[in-house]
Amino acid sequence: MKFKNIVVSGDISTGKSTLAHNLARELNWEYLSTGEYFRKWHKEHNIPLEKTNQVPESVDKEIDYCYQQKMKNEERIVFESHLGGYLAKDLLETFKVLCVTDWDKRIERAAKRDGINLEEAYKNVFERSKMLADKFKKLYGVENTFDPKYFNLIVDTSEKSPQDVLDVVLKSLKYDTRSSNSDI
């Protein structure tokens, strides 16, 4: 393989966690998730996940720096992170995948995952997405962490099964796509 690490990014409920888990399992690589880290942090501090703006900047920057250093210095890791593509933007040896999904599918997935109704899921996804975008703009000055220029591959997961998404990424990994984005 031409890449030493893989980053999977995407907004809330786009399938990034499922893809990252599947890639790590398939490749027998380590899996690291900023989402898991922050879910645990929120729970330990008794702060609802929707209140991402209450995480101190120092905590965000520390985990982002740690992940970026691992991307630079370690190998055989699948990173799952909202900010992953941006953090790895200059790392040519890291394959960067962006998962995208249509809005309605994202809401359905969030409702099913969280065991809530569609209206509540809409509110949660909208608020968390907005807070994350605002936080990343404040922390790093980045307008759009999902800008296609940060990624080697963009996969629309709306109508694909998890296995189909995995197959698309594994096939793409066989080719050197560092110089241009592919949209599948």
In contact, 124 and 70? CB cutoff 8 Å: no
* Partners of residue 100 on adjacent β-strands: 156
Domains in the chain (CATH in brackets) are: 5-102+146-183 (3.40.50.300)
Tens-digit pLDDT profile for residues 89-98: 999 999 999 9
Distance CA 32, CA 70 (A): 10
Tens-digit pLDDT profile for residues 31-51: 999 878 777 877 888 887 667
As separate numbers, helices (DSSP H) first and strands (DSSP E) second, the chain gives 7, 6
Model confidence, pTM: 0.87
pLDDT at 57: 84
Tens-digit pLDDT profile for residues 112-170: 999 999 999 999 999 989 988 998 999 999 999 999 999 999 999 999 999 999 999 99
What 3 state SS string does 74-126 have? CCCEEEECCCHHHHCCCCCCEEEEEEECCHHHHHHHHHHHHCCCHHHHHHHHH
